[in-house]
């Protein structure tokens, strides 16, 4: 597949051919194959799945479960470990709530980092048990300071929960540095793959986390669907997160028993059409090849990083190494929200603000940054237009 310009695969560019979309980290644009599959599902295939003893239902049930297998294959794991939830956020809330019920005591500790998105912080604030959060600090390149890991682990440490790739700096976590310590101390590992999984091959056999979460909407897929990988041990030992249809074994008025396996965590009608649509997003990812996508995006990143670093009084957050294609910056005297609004007038979409990472903003001593993030559809021309536009805007403001 020719990856140098894939805009023709994204229908939004038919209506708005000059759109320069640099906010893929928030949510990716939608690929034609996914839109067609979702449309076809609702138009021709739709019925509620599981338990329907008629053809429409059984056919769609098969497609839905085939999609679970496709997700598992993409991650190099088993479909028995894939749980469909509404978002990565819900996936982390599910793990936090289930851990709190049976595996955490008041005074226990979990290790996170200053790079975490609020989705991997607040669920831990909300649980009933009063745990202590031990944050890993950052080094001079704003990468996780792995040296702190040994000091922060103790007998009360019950989980290490880290982002796989920062949504602000793009920094990719080096799990070679984490795994030895995790294995030696037998501490469960949760990885937030929201920013990594849409851009590079994920191999869960190699990473070997206890939990891995990401959202379909950041992978050219539908909103309303998150993927939670959970190891067998936790599937067996956790109690259900929510109750309702489908997750049961037997129900009386006063009590119930629950399904075993991943079904225990999928109460109610699942996100049927999003799962069918996401299966087609994965076809697109596989056809394009995630590692080719990564190289394409990193070429654009390096080109943009070099051009941006030439601006007077620009501060680029994080380093340009060991990372994915995200750049956060501030230009002295230009408020990030003004820059975002003025770029919008030029049909360029970037994200500004705290990016749901207030602890990291506090570490940088800023209220927010401008962030550009690349997707498979971006081109060198997009970067040229962005940089020329920032030049024009800074001339007006400064
Ligand atoms: C690193 C990271 N984690 C978690 C999330 C939450 O994802 P969602 O809002 O799809 O649940 C995001 C979203 O931006 C993210 O970037």
Task: Tell me the C-alpha distance between 212 and 341, whole Å.
Answer: 35
DSSP per position, 303-349: HHHHHHHTSTTEEEES-SSSB-SEEEEEETTB-HHHHHHHHHHTTEE
Catalytic residue at 41? no
Predicted local confidence at residue 36, as pLDDT: 98
Task: Tell me the C-alpha distance between 360 and 120, whole Å.
Answer: 13
- Are 305 and 292 in contact by the 8 Å Cβ rule? The answer is no
Residue 90 token pair: 């819900």
Residue nearest to atom 15 of ligand 1 (CA): 194
Q: Mean pLDDT for each 10-residue chunk of the chain (398 residues)?
A: 86 97 98 98 97 94 98 98 98 98 97 98 97 97 95 96 98 93 92 98 97 98 98 97 95 96 96 98 96 97 98 95 97 98 98 98 98 98 98 95
Domains of the chain in sequence order: 7-31+289-397 (3.90.1150.10), 35-287 (3.40.640.10)
Beta-strand pair 109-113/132-136: parallel
CA of 395 to the centre of ligand 1 (A): 34
Task: Tell me the C-alpha distance between 171 and 322, whole Å.
Answer: 6
For 89-230, where are the E strands, in sequence order? 109-113, 132-136, 157-163, 189-192, 211-215, 226-230
Residue 52 token pair: 């329907």
Largest CA distance in the chain: 71
CB atoms under 10 Å from CB of 274, counted, come to 24
CB atoms under 10 Å from CB of 249, counted, come to 11
User: CA dist 244 to 44, 259, 275, 298, Å?
Assistant: 28, 11, 20, 44
Predicted local confidence at residue 251, as pLDDT: 96
Is any atom of ligand 1 closer than 6 Å to the C-beta of 157?
no
Is any atom of ligand 1 closer than 6 Å to the C-beta of 87?
yes
Is any atom of ligand 1 closer than 6 Å to the C-beta of 373?
no
Beta-strand pair 226-230/211-215: antiparallel
DSSP state of 45: I
pTM of this prediction exceeds 0.85: yes
Is any atom of ligand 1 closer than 6 Å to the C-beta of 119?
yes
Predicted local confidence at residue 2, as pLDDT: 76
Tell which atom from ligand 1 comes closest to the C-alpha of 192: 3
User: CA dist 396 to 329, 369, 391, Å?
Assistant: 19, 20, 9
Residue nearest to atom 9 of ligand 1 (CA): 89
Q: Which of 194, 213, 359 to mutate to test the pocket of ligand 1 (most atoms within 8 A of CB)?
A: 194
* 3-class state of residue 398 by DSSP: coil
């Amino acid at each position: 597949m020719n990856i140098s310009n894939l805009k023709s695969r994204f229908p939004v560019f038919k209506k708005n051919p000059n759109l320069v979309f640099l906010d893929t980290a928030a949510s990716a644009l939608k690929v034609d194959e996914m839109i067609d599959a979702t449309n076809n599902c609702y138009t021709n295939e739709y019925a509620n799945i599981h338990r329907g003893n008629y053809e429409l239902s059984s056919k769609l049930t098969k497609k839905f479960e085939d999609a679970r297998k496709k997700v598992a294959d993409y991650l190099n794991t088993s479909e028995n470990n894939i749980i469909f939830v509404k978002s990565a956020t819900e996936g982390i809330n599910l793990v936090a709530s289930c851990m709190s019920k049976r595996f955490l005591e008041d005074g226990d500790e979990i290790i996170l980092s200053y790079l975490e998105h609020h989705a991997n912080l607040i669920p831990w604030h909300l649980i009933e048990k009063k745990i202590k959060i031990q944050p890993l600090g950052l080094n001079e390149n704003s990468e996780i300071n792995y040296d702190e890991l040994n000091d922060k682990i103790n007998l009360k440490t019950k989980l290490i929960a880290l982002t796989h790739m920062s949504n602000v700096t793009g920094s990719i976590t080096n799990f070679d540095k984490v795994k030895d310590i995790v294995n030696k101390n037998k501490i469960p590992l949760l990885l937030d793959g929201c920013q990594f999984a849409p851009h590079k091959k994920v191999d869960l056999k190699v990473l070997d986390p206890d939990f891995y979460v990401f959202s379909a909407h950041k992978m050219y897929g539908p909103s309303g669907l998150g993927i939670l990988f959970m190891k067998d041990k936790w599937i067996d030992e956790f109690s259900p997160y929510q109750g309702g249809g489908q997750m049961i074994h037997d129900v009386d008025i006063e009590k119930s028993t629950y399904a075993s396996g991943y079904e225990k965590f999928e109460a109610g009608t699942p996100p049927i059409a999003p799962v069918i649509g996401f299966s087609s997003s994965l076809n697109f990812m596989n056809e394009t090849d995630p590692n080719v996508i990564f190289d394409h995006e990193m070429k654009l990143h390096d080109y943009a990083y070099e051009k941006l670093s030439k601006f007077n009084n620009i501060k680029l957050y994080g380093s340009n190494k060991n990372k994915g294609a995200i750049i956060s910056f501030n230009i002295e005297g230009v408020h990030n929200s003004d820059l975002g609004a003025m770029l919008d007038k030029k049909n360029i979409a970037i994200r500004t603000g705290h990016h749901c990472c207030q602890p990291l903003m506090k570490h940088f001593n800023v209220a927010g940054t401008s962030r550009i993030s690349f997707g498979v559809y971006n081109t060198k021309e997009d970067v040229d237009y962005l940089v020329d536009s920032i030049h024009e805007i800074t001339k007006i403001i400064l």
